[in-house]
Structure 1
Amino acid sequence: MSQQGPARAEEGEAIRTFFEGLTPAGLEQLNRIYDEEARFRDPFNEVVGIAAIRRIFADMFEQAPDARFTVQEVIGAAPLLYVRWDFTFTPGRAKAPWSVEGVSRLALGEDGRIVEHIDYWDPAAGIYERLPLLGTVLRWVRRRLAAD
């Protein structure tokens, strides 16, 4: 189910189209949506500049060629948008795709391009808990800390 919150239609659709249509071939067009000096941060990376952002996305596709985003909603209006998404990918030798839910905070510059992109998602629930040894420990800790 894909829906858009109160973001202006053109802003939300541009973001949705970008993320849902992201492919390795499209990485050369990042300058259409990202400012040259954009800042990007997620649980694993913190970089500045479109070349560094391009390397992060390229590595994502190298590790999981089937990686894709599904935008669930876009909320806000320039200069600040929040995008809730599902990221689906098949890592390494996994038999079935994995899915991670997250939110991106996107700050837009005067020209409408992204100047700051911060991703918020839980790598423990999305990735670490699926790993054989580490996952067992993390699931145990999560159960112990959960409210009854």
Structure 2
Amino acid sequence: MTTQSNQAVCEAYASVFSQLSPATIESFRPLVSSDIRFKDPFNDHCGFEKMANVLQDMFRHTQNPGFTVLEQDVCGDHAWLRWRFRADMPVIGAFESEGVSRIVFNADGKVCEHIDYWDSAPLYMQIPLLGRLLKAIRNRMASDH
């Protein structure tokens, strides 16, 4: 599979993420392998159905979630997507985070791996009791310089 073809798949994949809703999750199916590995700070699953379940859970447990793809870069058999995520969450309210996803293309030009990299600590810091404990630990570990 050529980089140009991978570029087209990457653009289509990024477009689905940018327009993600419960109704558009199925739009990933023709772009990914049936055994895709999907990993984020909370999940590590193989298979499209499990990936779809993770995304459906996001819509069940948050309000108005959405991704804005800020950059994409195809590098041969893989690509990087830099994105911003926003959602309203129970208990903590509005949440926003930036991260990157590394996607890998198989020989058929389908995405066979999607791994998210983002710092989940700010999410935990907003949880009332846990946040206070984590802030105390962070302050204790901080340099006095």
Which residue number in structure 1 is paired with residue 128 of structure 2?
Answer: 132
Q: Which moved more, 1:98-107 or 1:73-82?
A: 73-82
Q: Show CA shifts across 1:84-134 (max 9, x none).
A: 111100012555x21011111111112322101111111112x10001111
The structural deviation recorded for 1:72 is 1.4
1:115 pairs with 2:112: yes
Q: Which residue of 2 aligns with 1:144?
A: 140
Give ranges in structure 1 of 5+ residues lacking alignment: 1-7
1:11 Cα deviation from its structure 2 partner: 4.5
Q: Indicate conservation of the 8 Å contact 1:83/1:103, yes or no.
A: yes
Residue 5 of structure 1: aligned partner: none
Give the alignment's Cα RMSD to 1 decimal: 1.8
Report deviation, 1:71.
Answer: 1.0
* TM-score normalised by the chain length of structure 2: 0.85
Question: SS of 2:33's equivalent?
Answer: strand
Summarize the alignment of residues 47-86 of structure 1 with structure 2, pairs less than 5 Å apart.
Answer: 47-86=45-84
Q: Is the 8 A contact 1:11 1:77 kept in 2?
A: no
Over 6 Å off, 4+ runs: none
Q: Does the aligned pair in 2 maintain the 1:78–1:107 contact within 8 Å?
A: no
Offset of residue 30 of structure 1: 2.1
- Return the TM-score normalized by structure 1: 0.84
Structure showing the higher strand proportion among its residues:
2
| Higher mean displacement: 8-17 or 67-76 | 8-17
CA distance in 2, matches of 1:81, 1:29: 19
Q: Which amino acid aligns with 1:52?
A: K
CA distance in 2, matches of 1:34, 1:12: 11
Using a 3 Å threshold, how does the CA distance of structure 1 residues 27 and 140 change in structure 2: closer, same or farther?
A: same
1:45 alignment counterpart: 43
